[in-house]
Amino acid sequence: METDIQRIAALAHIDEKLDEMHEELGDLPKEVKKLEAAVRERMRLVEQTETSLQEIASHKSNTHITFQEFTDKEAKLADTQFTGKVRNNKEFDAITKEIEFIRSERVRLEQELAQNALKQENLENLLGTQQSDLKDFQEKLAQKEKELEDLSNEQNDEFKTLQKKRKELSAAVNNDWYLEYERIRTFHNDAAVHIRKGSCSGCFSAITPQKLVEMRNNINAYYTCQSCGRILYPEDLRVEEEYM
Ligand SMILES: [Zn+2]
């Protein structure tokens, strides 16, 4: 026949297992969330670099168009100058100045194009690094998500079985003991512990020999550790196989 202290000890066993399962899952969802944020941040960086590269490309094509316009205009001016269409020296000088301006503008545009080409090369290298970094984190995330999924599936059956046993036990155990057990659980996860070598295995305080004798003689009484308040059960008490 099961005694209340045996039921409490079995409850403590089940709760320890449930706590462990909770802990196992506890870290994984947090890690998945962290990796999700890391992936999002890296995607943002990749997008930023891609936008900069698009800007450079469109600037490049605009500059080429302007450059061509300048070239055409210069040819036209030179043509005006050298085919005798200029009416006087003043007009000739004005055209010469305009041609000089166009040439200096073309030099400026060439420099700009060279600078942009350098910038583009740097950004392409950066993009390569950012993309491989992103891929690393996406792989890490996929792996963690799989771990979490597998563990959840694996735990599901065990969890249900433990919950069912726990429900049966908590219904069968003396109600006052159960309430006390739950109250202690709010500050000690292991609310009921066995005595090991004459000491509380929760806080390692020694139990007086007198109390040990009392406990042996009153297997249906309720004893707690004087130091930590945990419920104590005898060293030789075995928890039923089904609750192990
Ligand atoms: Zn104790």
Strand order of the β-sheet with 199-200 is 199-200, 192-196, 231-233
* 236 CB burial (10 A radius; 0-12, 13-18, 19+): exposed
Assess whether 34 and 143 both reside in one domain.
yes
Q: What pLDDT score was predicted for residue 150?
A: 87
Domain boundary among 151, 172, 193: 172
Tell me how far apart the alpha carbons of residues 190 and 181 are, in angstroms, rounded to a whole number. Answer: 9
CATH number of domain containing 76? 1.10.287.1490
Q: What pLDDT score was predicted for residue 61?
A: 95
Whether the predicted pLDDT of 125 surpasses 60: yes
Pair 2, 240: CB distance under 8 Å:
yes
Whether the predicted pLDDT of 120 surpasses 80: yes
Question: Is residue 1 assigned to a domain?
Answer: no
What separation in Å is there between the alpha carbon of 188 and the centre of ligand 1?
Answer: 10
Q: What share of the chain has pLDDT > 70, as a percent? A: 98
What separation in Å is there between the alpha carbon of 4 and the centre of ligand 1?
Answer: 20
Please enumerate, as own/partner, the contacts of 104-110 that have beta carbons within 8 Å and a separation of 24 or more.
Answer: 105/70, 106/67, 106/70, 106/71, 109/63, 109/66, 109/67, 109/70, 110/67
Domain boundary among 172, 191, 206: 172
Question: Is residue 230 assigned to a domain?
Answer: yes
Q: What pLDDT score was predicted for residue 244?
A: 63
Q: What is the pLDDT of residues 136-189, one digit of tens each?
A: 999 999 999 998 888 888 888 888 899 999 999 999 999 999 999 999 999 999
What separation in Å is there between the alpha carbon of 178 and the centre of ligand 1?
Answer: 18
Assess whether 86 and 193 both reside in one domain.
no
Assess whether 118 and 159 both reside in one domain.
yes
Assess whether 147 and 179 both reside in one domain.
no
What separation in Å is there between the alpha carbon of 243 and the centre of ligand 1?
Answer: 23
Question: Is residue 5 assigned to a domain?
Answer: no
Assess whether 96 and 54 both reside in one domain.
yes
Count structural domains, the chain: 2
Q: What is the pLDDT of residues 28-47, one digit of tens each?
A: 888 999 999 999 999 999 99
The residue-averaged pLDDT of 108-119 equals: 95
Assess whether 197 and 143 both reside in one domain.
no
What separation in Å is there between the alpha carbon of 234 and the centre of ligand 1?
Answer: 13
Assess whether 151 and 228 both reside in one domain.
no
Tell me how far apart the alpha carbons of residues 10 and 242 are, in angstroms, rounded to a whole number. Answer: 9
What separation in Å is there between the alpha carbon of 171 and the centre of ligand 1?
Answer: 26
* Residue range(s) defining the domain that contains residue 234: 175-238
Assess whether 157 and 231 both reside in one domain.
no
Tell me how far apart the alpha carbons of residues 16 and 164 are, in angstroms, rounded to a whole number. Answer: 15
Averaged pLDDT of the chain: 91
What separation in Å is there between the alpha carbon of 199 and the centre of ligand 1?
Answer: 8
Assess whether 44 and 92 both reside in one domain.
yes
Q: Structure pTM?
A: 0.58
Label residue 134 by pLDDT band (50, 70, 90).
Answer: very high
